[in-house]
Chains A and B, each alone.
Chain A
Amino acid sequence: MDQQKPSFNPAVITKEKLRILVAFLMVLLGVATYIFGMQVIYLTLVSIAIAIVIEVAFSKIRKRPLDHGILVTPLMIALLMPPTAPLWLVLIASGFGVFFGKAIFGGLGRNIFNPAAVGYLFVIISFPAQMATQWLNPRTDAISSATPLINLNAGNASDFTIWELLLGNVPGTLGETFRLGIIVLGIALIVLKIADWRIPTFTILSVFVFTAIGHLAFPSTFAVEPLISLFVGGLMFGAFFVATDPVTAPLNKNGKIIYAVGIGLITVLIRNMAAFPEGIIFAVIIMNAVAPLIDHYLQKTDEKESFA
């Protein structure tokens, strides 16, 4: 129908902004390579290769121009993988994410769910043994079964200081450990108006608040201290890079706040009460599903502002 227009969604960000986002993700991957070794490069290359194959095939079949956001999803999926992930795992994650998360809906701007989160969820539910049990400790090069977040959730004392957690020389997924860089690049994303400031701010704030409430009320269930909880797991990466995807977040400004608070609440609940140690990606997927509803209910109050 609309072959000239690659997308109709007003939320799709421009080519230049996407290029900056890709560059930031590349920086994070570079740091991950420095921390975790060459496996990161192989994972990234496999992820990108399968994504390009699927995108090109779809653009040929659907007779549509190639999306300019082709690199974002595979890079994000690579950043969400654990350092010990085998190559076939990232192949499945990236292939599933791009095919079922994006291509089936008609490409960039038409997807309901964040494609990177879709691919990640598929593999973490299907292959928990490979995704959530083998964590490489970059300082000792030993593989242990726990990340700082898993340790803290179990009620053990953290063996890492906040400064170590910020610098990223700790066990975790590829993208989540260099938290200082994530915060700096995330603020750059906000300054460059690629990401909306409300989503990361309110996500992190609400995680802090809900963890604090839980920690005060039920210290045995909510074992993690509220301040430390911000610097463990994939919260920073999820809040700054995954949740802020403008296509899948609400368009409405107040809606973005509701969306972010919802992500924070679900993250805290999954972290402390569910079988999975980290819940930010689950939370993003759940709130992606709710985002159109939020927009629908807030549309009337905000119509003039948002489309003026």
Chain B
Amino acid sequence: MVKNVQAKKAELTRLSNLTKGFIKENPVFVSLLGMCPALAVTMTLETSLGMGLLVIFVLTLSNIVISLIKKLVPPQVKIPVYIVVIATFVTIVGMLTQAFAPALFDSLGIFIPLIVVNCLILGRAESFASKNNVLDSTIDGVGMALGFTGALMLIGFSRELLATGAIAYGTYLPLPVSGSLLNLEFYVVNMAVFNGAAGGFIVIGLWLAFFNTIRLNQEKKQELERQRFIEQKKKEALERKRKKALESAGEPA
């Protein structure tokens, strides 16, 4: 019985471990990690997705390896060792991309090698994988990378739609079909600003504002609830005290 409950609890924390990266601790919109690719490669939905896939691969594998070797690495050389591990996987994905998705490789360019210094990956290695077991680290890596990919795709979707009025597919990723979705043919939508860096900042800023508003509202609600709970407890305590006082006053009488 007790074992069952414990297993359920562990599952629940694993589930929350997976989903915490989606919205609650989203790397881009909450922790502001990995802003460099979030600005630089989110011109289109497809490049964002491509970068996201690479990060999923690198982050998951580096988390696994780092949690495996965590006891072997002396703390003095922690960071260099992590960087070497991450760089290995980045090199692998870079070569794989060049072989199987050359268009994506060309359009991401320098930002593939730069995944090595993506602070999201080093951050998860340092703060999670070096302290937890392999399974938890894997789940954490997948969840965080999925959250990162989702955020990138959200930005990429908004920017591509605003800049070109359509969402193209099959251009960068080796999909069997190619074409474009959501053809908003009226030309008001083609705002070339969103292709540039300024548009990237504007879109990220707007999404940040959106997620922050939601988060702040939630926090405010929680705070109100907490206060109400405290008030209630106080009231109960006061009532109890009064009762006791009445009783003790009634006794001698």
Contacts and interface: CB of A to CB of B under 8 A. Distances in A.
A binds B: yes
Interface of A: 88, 92, 100, 122, 125-128
B113 interface: no
18 contacts: A88-B188, A92-B188, A92-B191, A100-B202, A122-B191, A122-B193, A125-B192, A125-B193, A125-B196, A125-B198, A126-B190, A126-B191, A126-B192, A126-B193, A127-B190, A127-B191, A127-B192, A128-B192
Contacts of B192: 125-128
Interface of B: 188, 190-193, 196, 198, 202
Contacts of A127: 190-192
A92 B186 CA distance: 14
Nearest to B209: A104
A92 B192 CA distance: 13
Nearest to A86: B188
Nearest to A126: B191
A168 B209 CA distance: 45
Contacts of A88: 188
Interface-central residue, A100, A122, A126, A127, by most chain B CB under 10 Å: A126
A268 to B, nearest CB: 23
B47 to A, nearest CB: 21
Given A92-B188, A125-B192, A127-B190, 6 more contacts: A88-B188, A100-B202, A122-B193, A125-B198, A127-B191, A128-B192
A127 B191 CA distance: 7
Contacts of B190: 126-127
Contacts of B191: 92, 122, 126-127
A128 B190 CA distance: 11
Contacts of A100: 202
A100 B203 CA distance: 12
B187 to A, nearest CB: 9
A245 to B, nearest CB: 21
A87 to B, nearest CB: 11
B199 to A, nearest CB: 9
A125 B193 CA distance: 6
A128 B196 CA distance: 14
A122 B192 CA distance: 9
Nearest to B205: A104
B250 to A, nearest CB: 53
A90 to B, nearest CB: 12
Contacts of B193: 122, 125-126
A98 B83 CA distance: 46
A92 B188 CA distance: 9
Contacts of B198: 125
**Which of A92, A127, A128 has most B Cβ within 10 Å?**
A127
Nearest to A128: B192
A92 B190 CA distance: 12
Nearest to B202: A100
Contacts of A92: 188, 191
B106 to A, nearest CB: 25
A132 B67 CA distance: 58
A122 B193 CA distance: 7
Contacts of A128: 192
A126 B188 CA distance: 10
A127 B193 CA distance: 9
A128 B187 CA distance: 13
Contacts of A122: 191, 193
Nearest to B163: A126
Nearest to A89: B188
Contacts of B196: 125
A54 B1 CA distance: 61
A119 to B, nearest CB: 12
B196 to A, nearest CB: 7
Nearest to B186: A88
A122 B188 CA distance: 13
A100 B194 CA distance: 14
A122 B196 CA distance: 11
A247 B74 CA distance: 56
Nearest to B188: A88
Contacts of A125: 192-193, 196, 198
B24 to A, nearest CB: 26
B234 to A, nearest CB: 30
B198 to A, nearest CB: 8
A126 B196 CA distance: 10
A198 to B, nearest CB: 30
A100 B198 CA distance: 12
Contacts of B188: 88, 92
The 8 closest A-B pairs by CB, nearest first: A126-B191, A126-B193, A125-B193, A126-B192, A88-B188, A122-B193, A125-B192, A100-B202
Contacts of B202: 100
B92 to A, nearest CB: 39
A132 to B, nearest CB: 13
B48 to A, nearest CB: 21
Most chain A beta-carbon contacts within 10 A, residue among B192, B193, B196, B198: B193
